[in-house]
Amino acid sequence: MLNASGAGSLMRGVRPLRVVHQSEPESRMNAPNISAPAPQPNFPIMPEAFWAKFSTTLQQQWKPEVDGWWFGPNNRPQRTKFMTAVLTDLARDFGCHCECEYRKVDVSYFDRRAKGDWDKWSWEAAIELENADSWKDEASKLMEINAGLKVLIAYVDKQKKEHEKFLEQLLAIYRSRKYVTKPCNWLFIFGLFGELDWDFIAIKFDGMTTTEITGNVRIRTAGTH
C-alpha cells in the first residue's frame, strides 16, 4: 500500500491527459461533403404556376416600344417574336427544355430534349400564340395534343365578347372529343383589346369548369412606360 508521500510521487510522474476540443472549422472540414439535392421540377406544370411566372416576366419586360407592337396588324411579327422569346426563356424556370415549331406547335416544353427514344421524354407544355381570329382553330389543335399543360395566348376584341362565348361552349366542345388527355390542364391567356387600358386575363380549365385566375395582376399598366 502506498503512503501519501508515495502516492504523491507517483502522481507527479504521471502526465495528465490532454483533452482536445475540435474547433468548428475542423469539424466542418472533417464532415462528409454532402451537397444539397437539386430542386426537382414539379410536373405537371399547373396553370396557376405558369401564369404566376409568365405574368411576372412579361411585366418586367414590358417597355414603351413593346407596348406599341400591340397596335396595328403590321406589328404582328414583332410581338410574336417578343412573346416567343419570353416563353423560351421561361422554360428554364420550370426545369424544361424548349423547342419551337415542334410538330407545328409554336412553343413546347419538354422534361428533356425531345430527341432520341420517345419513351424517355414527356411533353410538359404545348403553347400556341395566335394573333388572328383563327385562335379557336389553335384551341382545337391543342385538344389533340398529349401534353401536361396546354396554353393558348390570343388577342381578342373585348367588346365582341368572342372569348366569353367560346368559354361558355368549351365544356361541350371538350366533351364532344372522342379521345381526351389526362390530366386536363388548360390555360387561356387573352389580351383584351378595345380599351386604352387593356390588359391580359388568365383563365384555367380542368375539364369540368373554367375559372379566372388573373388575380390583381396588371401587366401593361404596371410595366415600364
Which pLDDT tens digit goes with each residue over 55-112?
A: 999 999 998 888 888 877 788 889 999 999 999 999 999 999 999 999 999 999 999 8
User: What is the value of pTM for the model shown?
Assistant: 0.79
Angle at 50 between CA 214 and CA 145, to 5 degrees: 110
Q: In the β-sheet with 210-212, what is the strand arrangement from edge to edge?
A: 97-102, 105-110, 123-130, 149-157, 186-193, 200-205, 210-212
The overall average pLDDT reported for the chain is 82
Confidence of residue 116 (pLDDT cuts 50, 70, 90): low
Confidence of residue 115 (pLDDT cuts 50, 70, 90): low
Residue spans per domain, the chain: 47-212
pLDDT at residue number 24: 42
| Percent of the chain predicted with pLDDT > 70 | 77
Taking the C-alpha atoms of residue 43 and residue 186, their distance in angstroms, rounded to an integer, is 14
Confidence of residue 222 (pLDDT cuts 50, 70, 90): low
